[in-house]
Structure 1
Amino acid sequence: MPSQAKLTQGSTFKHVVYMSATGALGLMCMFLVDLVDMLFLSMLDEKEAVAAVGFASTIMFFTISLSIAVSITATALVSRAIGEGQIELAKRRAVNVLAFGTLFSLVVVWLLWPNIAFILSYIGATGRTLELSTEYLQILIIGMPAIMIGMIGSGIMRALGDARRAMYATLIGGLINAVLDPIFIFALDMGVQGAAIASLIARFSMVAVSYYGVVHVHKMLGRFDLMDFIKDIKPMCVIAVPAMLTNMSSPLANAIVMEHASSFGDDAVAAVAIIGRIIPVIFGGVFALSGAVGPMLGQNYGAGRFDRMHSTISSAVIYAFGYCLLLCIILFQLQDWLVATFNATEASADIIRFFATFVSFSFFFQSLLFIAIAVFNNLGKPLNSTLLNFGRATLGTWPLITFFALFMGAQGILFGQAIGSVIFGCLGFYMAKNYIKGLEQKAYREKASKAITSPQHLGYDEVY
């Protein structure tokens, strides 16, 4: 059980680096599940199998995004309670978010499973690709409750500042998947279905690891009480619903990209699918920024430390720039290796090389958007995150990729998406900085008002 809000002390840059690095390893391993699936399936020399995982992963990204949204709720509520020193409230919120997430994920599975083939065909899967992607997704979607529980557990531990144990759940899941994939795909000759079963087992392993950290190490799950759960539904939904809408915008953008890519054939779809699996692994440190910055802001806001909130934002930008610069250089150097590793066709290889050479640095601007999303989700304005991310997914995606694809072909899809990231990243960061300044000014006015109306100020010291 935490005795103090550890993120309100020490170097903010050190916290950002540590929280982002451990979060990145966790996220990278979670998305590595899909990348490993695609890598082994590419060895079957059946491009429909790779395209099938690409289509199915578009839907799985949607379910993972919902899980991340609920984990954001856990992080925001628990970290703020910890910053205020209300440990029992933090424990109550932790168990109630876990119950909420489990019920919600079961409902999503119930709604999605019968409609999988229709959804996949709607975003462009046809023929053999549709058949394989349906088989893959029908198995994998069953694991959504496990992902939800694992992500919420990680979110609770991040809220406490224990980023290392938060990483373990997804790290172990990725390792288990890497071991089981060749067994099910090749040794048991199960192909796409084998990849799905291996990934499903890996996802359920996340539950055991996160349960151990939250319950046995930190003792952070309070006793479930139905009336407390009902009371907490409103504060949970205030964060969870906008956060879900915010995170749904990314799979929406991916679906738009995949639908446009399908008009250029399976080679373009396979290239976009490969890039889509590379991105979270290479740029995991960027994707982890929201999860790193969020609990730092939550604890320091609860403690009234606005100086550390400003410092956290500055540290996050410095970290993001250095990380993106380094990883973009590495990606540029590895582009030929990636083409060879995934047995990409000539058409697919051109798109992959274009991404590695010209598009990759746009993720720095996307990191600015992630920082802004963390600010709004954890400081009481989650609807702003929704508007920003949906703006990027719609206005920042569809018109731009449609326009640039007219002149640049399939490469224009990636270029248009990158331009959208630049625009909305800068806009979101500007809004977030101003919002924190507004909160600080409001807190200063309230403090000044209390000082003016205090008995001491009015000359009543002798009464006390």
Structure 2
Amino acid sequence: MPGPAKLTQGSTFKHVVYMSATGAFGLMCMFLVDLVDMLFLSMLGEKEAVAAVGFASTIMFFTISLSIAVSISATALVSKAVGEGNIELAKRRAVNVLAFGIIFSSAVVWLLWPKIPHILLSIGATGRTLDLATGYLQILVIGMPAVMIGMIGSGIMRALGDARRAMYATLVGGLVNALLDPIFIFAFGLGVQGAAIASLIARFSMVAVSYYGVVHIHKMLGEFDLMDFFKDVKPICLIAIPAMLTNMSSPLANAIVMEHTSSFGDDAVAAVAVIGRIIPVVFGGIFALSGAVGPILGQNYGAGRFDRMRSAMSSAVIYAFAYCLVLCFCLYQMQDWLVSVFHATQGSADLIRFFATFVSFSFFFQSLLFIAIAVFNNLGKPFNSTLLNFGRATLGTWPLITVFSLFMGAEGILFGQAIGSVLFGCLGFYMARNYITELEAKEASEIVLSNNLHGYDDIL
């Protein structure tokens, strides 16, 4: 059985660090396997194989983003119910979000699978690169319901403050993938398709771990009731749909970047694909920040602790700044090794070095946007997150990378993205701070009004 709302007590900085570190470790393990995929495939001596996974990853990021969106709904609804002390409601919401996720992800697979070649062609994949990317995606997309279940299970455990067990699902998935990769890629000689099969098996291993944590450890799944499910569809969708739109903006930005990059040739595409694998491994602690801050905000919002909500935001900023400072320095020092280990051509190497030297610290400003998104998703304004992320993906991406690439070439694409992150990160954080102040003022006025009404009743 879940215990008390432990995120409403103790140091908010400690909670942020612990929740982020465990979330980051799980994410980095998962994305490290993608990085190893890229490393193994680069050993095949085919730049088309590396470019194919780069194109395919743009689409996979879209499907994973949908899973993350539904898990955000699970975290927000369950954490608020736990903060209010209503465990039965938390259990009901948990099982209904899970049912919603399975139905939704199965529908997405059914719609997406036959259109994979056309989608890849539309973002610039051609020739052998298109064929390899299509084969890779047609295998991997089948595992989307498994990813959905694993993500929702992790979201439920994070809502309870059990970040350690939430980490185990992605950790086990990463280990299984890492063990199977060389077997399917090299021993069976399956190449790109082998990498996809290994990843598919790993996704199903995530389901087993998540199920064990949610059901056997926390006993957090209530009995499924169809009428309760229909009651909960609305609150689930009110968070999940804006969160989906919010998360889809990132694949949109990636697709815009990939389309622009393809005009500079396969060397540039391969470099962006390698950078895309490096980013989640190096900046996993930043990507985990939104998922870490969300449960802290949700439980304290349910408990009416606005002071701790503001403290959690400040703690998250301090954590993000220190994290980026250390990791960006490490990335700068390791850039030559990365160029060597991925067998990068001269054109690819120049882009990788440019990212490590000039662009990487922009992820601190992206962390401000992640914090803002956590605030709006968990405190009742998810469409604000959508507007911010779509703003970054469109106004903060396309015009900037178009202009800067005219003057700087392929490097301008990376630099334009960085400028967009700075602008929208600062804007989002400012909006989020103001929103918490508004919520506190609204609750205070409601308390005063309630007290006045009680006083009037006493007189009568």
Determine if the TM-score, normalized by the shorter chain, exceeds 0.5.
yes
Residue of structure 2 equivalent to 1:332: 332
Residue of structure 2 equivalent to 1:98: 98
| 1-structure distance, mates of 2:429, 2:414 | 22
Question: What is the identity percentage for the equivalent residue pairs of Structure 1 and Structure 2?
Answer: 82
Residue of structure 2 equivalent to 1:209: 209
| 2-structure distance, mates of 1:182, 1:144 | 23
Equivalent position amino acid for 1:64 in 2: I
Residue of structure 2 equivalent to 1:63: 63
Equivalent position amino acid for 1:432 in 2: A
Equivalent position amino acid for 1:242 in 2: P
Query: Which sections of structure 1, spanning at least 5 residues, go unmatched?
Result: none
Query: SS of the residue aligned with 1:223?
Result: coil
Deviations 1:199-252 (A, max 9, x none): 111111000000000000000000000000000010000000000000000010
Whether the 8 Å CA contact 1:157–1:166 is kept in 2: the answer is: yes
Give, in angstroms, the shift of residue 393 of structure 1. Answer: 0.2
Structure 1 position 397 matched with structure 2 position 393 = no
| 1-structure distance, mates of 2:203, 2:434 | 39
Equivalent position amino acid for 2:163 in 1: A
| 1-structure distance, mates of 2:103, 2:449 | 44
| 2-structure distance, mates of 1:119, 1:354 | 29
Residue of structure 1 equivalent to 2:355: 355
Equivalent position amino acid for 1:149 in 2: I
| 2-structure distance, mates of 1:319, 1:182 | 36
Structure 1 position 19 matched with structure 2 position 41 = no
Structure 1 position 225 matched with structure 2 position 254 = no
Deviations 1:268-296 (A, max 9, x none): 00000000111011000000011000000
Deviations 1:380-430 (A, max 9, x none): 000000000000000000000000000100000000000000000000000
Structure 1 position 79 matched with structure 2 position 79 = yes
Structure 1 position 35 matched with structure 2 position 35 = yes
Residue of structure 2 equivalent to 1:200: 200
Query: SS of the residue aligned with 1:104?
Result: helix
Query: SS of the residue aligned with 1:454?
Result: helix
Query: Which sections of structure 2, spanning at least 5 residues, go unmatched?
Result: none
Whether the 8 Å CA contact 2:258–2:269 is kept in 1: the answer is: yes
Residue of structure 1 equivalent to 2:110: 110
Stretches (4+) displaced over 4 A: 457-460
| 1-structure distance, mates of 2:181, 2:288 | 26
Structure 1 position 292 matched with structure 2 position 299 = no
Deviations 1:166-216 (A, max 9, x none): 000001101111111001111111111111100111111000000000000
| 2-structure distance, mates of 1:290, 1:165 | 18
| 1-structure distance, mates of 2:172, 2:410 | 36
Whether the 8 Å CA contact 2:247–2:389 is kept in 1: the answer is: yes
| 2-structure distance, mates of 1:16, 1:203 | 27
Whether the 8 Å CA contact 1:306–1:440 is kept in 2: the answer is: yes
| 1-structure distance, mates of 2:420, 2:273 | 20
Give, in angstroms, the shift of residue 449 of structure 1. Answer: 1.3
| 2-structure distance, mates of 1:34, 1:249 | 21
Give, in angstroms, the shift of residue 3 of structure 1. Answer: 2.6
Residue of structure 2 equivalent to 1:191: 191
* Counterparts of residues 292-311 of structure 1 (less than 5 Å): 292-311=292-311
Whether the 8 Å CA contact 1:293–1:312 is kept in 2: the answer is: yes
Give, in angstroms, the shift of residue 61 of structure 1. Answer: 0.4
Residue of structure 1 equivalent to 2:436: 436
| 2-structure distance, mates of 1:132, 1:453 | 69
Q: How many residues align?
A: 460
Equivalent position amino acid for 1:245 in 2: L
Residue of structure 2 equivalent to 1:131: 131
Comparing 71-80 and 33-42, the one that deviates more? 33-42
Whether the 8 Å CA contact 1:34–1:57 is kept in 2: the answer is: no
Give, in angstroms, the shift of residue 308 of structure 1. Answer: 0.3
Equivalent position amino acid for 2:414 in 1: L
Give, in angstroms, the shift of residue 30 of structure 1. Answer: 2.1
Query: SS of the residue aligned with 1:106?
Result: helix
Deviations 1:3-46 (A, max 9, x none): 31000000000000000000111111222232121111011011
Give, in angstroms, the shift of residue 453 of structure 1. Answer: 2.0
Whether the 8 Å CA contact 2:2–2:219 is kept in 1: the answer is: no
Equivalent position amino acid for 1:180 in 2: L
| 2-structure distance, mates of 1:206, 1:131 | 29
Q: CA RMSD in A?
A: 0.9
Query: SS of the residue aligned with 1:3?
Result: coil
Deviations 1:314-367 (A, max 9, x none): 000000000000000000000011111111000000000000000000000000
| 1-structure distance, mates of 2:210, 2:78 | 16
Structure 1 position 248 matched with structure 2 position 264 = no
> TM-score, normalized by length of structure 2?
0.99
* Counterparts of residues 374-453 of structure 1 (less than 5 Å): 374-453=374-453
Equivalent position amino acid for 2:239 in 1: I
Structure 1 position 274 matched with structure 2 position 289 = no
Equivalent position amino acid for 1:230 in 2: F
| 2-structure distance, mates of 1:229, 1:453 | 36
Query: SS of the residue aligned with 2:334?
Result: helix
| 1-structure distance, mates of 2:256, 2:417 | 10
| 1-structure distance, mates of 2:392, 2:279 | 17
Give, in angstroms, the shift of residue 458 of structure 1. Answer: 6.4
| 1-structure distance, mates of 2:444, 2:241 | 30
Residue of structure 2 equivalent to 1:52: 52
Give, in angstroms, the shift of residue 459 of structure 1. Answer: 5.4
| 2-structure distance, mates of 1:459, 1:139 | 69
Whether the 8 Å CA contact 1:29–1:170 is kept in 2: the answer is: yes
Whether the 8 Å CA contact 1:76–1:298 is kept in 2: the answer is: yes
